[in-house]
A and B are shown apart, each in its own frame.
Chain A
Amino acid sequence: MNPITPIINGMKITLKHMFMKPVTLQYPDERPKVAERFRGLHALKVSHSKAKCVACYLCPTVCPAKCITVEAGEDANHDKYATVYEIDMLRCIFCGYCVEACPVDALKMTGEFELANYSRQDFIYSKERLLEKQ
């Protein structure tokens, strides 16, 4: 095969690509549309203005990264609830097993993916920070 044709074909391809619409997303100005089932930051679902979580310990049990800390307590109606619910985002692998394991559908994963922070302590999300934004 002569050596010139492939070069010319290649040049044609690059020229054609120059007039295509760039795929670049100008990130801080333009936001990506994350998929509906994207596994981002966790959120504790809220029902009747309190968390649905019943502190059954299924999520820390199933968690492969062992990043969830739950402590159970009793509220005024003698219902079990989580006094402490913490997820260490530095350890979390965003597998979503906790969401699947939850028997009362109290946990979900949001499209939030900007989880950068300044100190290690800030990555341990407390119950207040995890509560679903209304």
Chain B
Amino acid sequence: MGIEILGLPLMYYIAMVAKVLVAFVFVLLTVAYATYAERKIIGHMQVRLGPMRTGWHGLLQPIADGVKLFFKEEIVPAQASKFAFLIAPLIALIPAFITFAVIPFGGVIEVAGYKVPLQIAAYYDTAAGQVYDVNVGVLYILAMSSLGVYGIVLAGWASNSKYSLMGGLRASAQMISYELAAGLCIIAVFMLSGTLSLTKIVELQSGMGGFDWYLFKQPLAAFMFFICSLAEINRTPFDLPEAETELVSGFCTEYSSMKYAMFFMAEYANMVTVSAITVTLFLGGWNGPFTAAMPLLGPVYFIAKVYFLIFVCMWIRATLPRYRYDQLMYLGWKVFIPLALVNIVVTGIIGYFL
């Protein structure tokens, strides 16, 4: 039956590549339209209209923005460290996207007789009859989200400008502090699930018509994880690295054209990623009613949940002013980390007696 590579038919590889492409293009489009959605939602929350004039109700705005940025002049400051300056946007952007490799966005679907799990880094073993994915998926996510900091710190350092440097410093301090608290929140989830594989974590949340979600078992961890994630990706109210009142534009002050667009995309891609991780860990991933009968409903539920969380991010942005730097550090070290530790201890005690 046709050409075989490593014991698997060609069609299987085509299906896998198609899955990766569809997922990637979908994430890219979501990132592009997240900018539009943000402007629209914040606009309406301020009783304005938001973009209206590019296409019907401004629907072509992200494309217009992209084209504009693409044709802008590339400026590299004379005193900048060239190589680091050029590579920093890529280092910020790539981790934001590759995190998606381990996030399951649906169950197993059948394409042309082959079972394809809807998760990029996973395959369905027909002999064993189960899905194999990266069994340390969450560690991979944590590693990638830490890598994102390098892009921002490098950008701040390489620009050779005081505002950029301050922005980069703030970003590194903030991301490292909040990563601890976010990591501790995830530990509470591991204590319940007993596995680091995201597919398993989603499976464990499938029962009881939605009441098996870790949101209900770990409400404190869920809220803290979401807020820490906001801080980690520099969203408002924790967007100190680009606090324009003090730092012009923070680490991306000296960037222009597509390099600036890459930072912008990285910010929104991070937001999508963080929402997807929160959905996977706490909101039952792609689980929902009737997914067993219709596997294609899985991605629909997943997307709906992710979009809801993205909406919450924008909602928070429209509501809250920026934290002061000392308040931010206080919140991270003196509130979230102790709370997360207490949460782990309580989870441990309850888990021991149940």
List A residues at the B interface (Cβ < 8 Å).
7, 10-11, 13-15, 17-18, 20-24, 26
Contacts and interface: CB of A to CB of B under 8 A. Distances in A.
A24 B48 contact: yes
Interface size, B (range): 10 to 19
6 contacts: A7-B320, A14-B45, A14-B319, A15-B315, A17-B46, A24-B49
Contacts, number: 35
Contacts of A21: 47
Contacts of A22: 43-44, 47-49
A17 B47 contact: yes
Chain B interface mostly helix, strand, loop or mixed? Answer: helix
B320 A10 contact: yes
Given A18-B41, A22-B43, A10 B48 contact: no
B316 interface: yes
With most chain A CB atoms within 10 A of its CB, the pick from B49, B316, B318, B319 is B319
B43 A14 contact: no
A21 B316 CA distance: 21
A67 to B, nearest CB: 36
A9 to B, nearest CB: 10
Contacts of A18: 41, 44-45
Nearest to B44: A18
A11 B316 contact: yes
Contacts of A20: 47
B52 interface: yes
Interface in B311-326: 315-316, 318-320
Contacts of A26: 49, 52
A5 to B, nearest CB: 13
Given A18-B41, A22-B43, A7 B48 contact: no
Given A11-B315, A26-B52, A17 B45 contact: yes
Top 5 A-B pairs ranked by shortest CB distance? Answer: A24-B49, A10-B319, A14-B45, A14-B319, A22-B49
Nearest to B43: A22
B93 to A, nearest CB: 30
A66 B60 CA distance: 49
Contacts of B52: 24, 26
B172 to A, nearest CB: 26
A132 B319 CA distance: 50
Given A7-B320, A26-B52, A14 B315 contact: yes
With most chain A CB atoms within 10 A of its CB, the pick from B41, B47, B49, B52 is B47
Interface string B291-324: 0000000000000000000000001101110000
A13 B319 CA distance: 8
Interface string B44-61: 111111001000000000
Interface string B8-49: 000000000000000000000000000000000101111111
Contacts of A23: 47-48
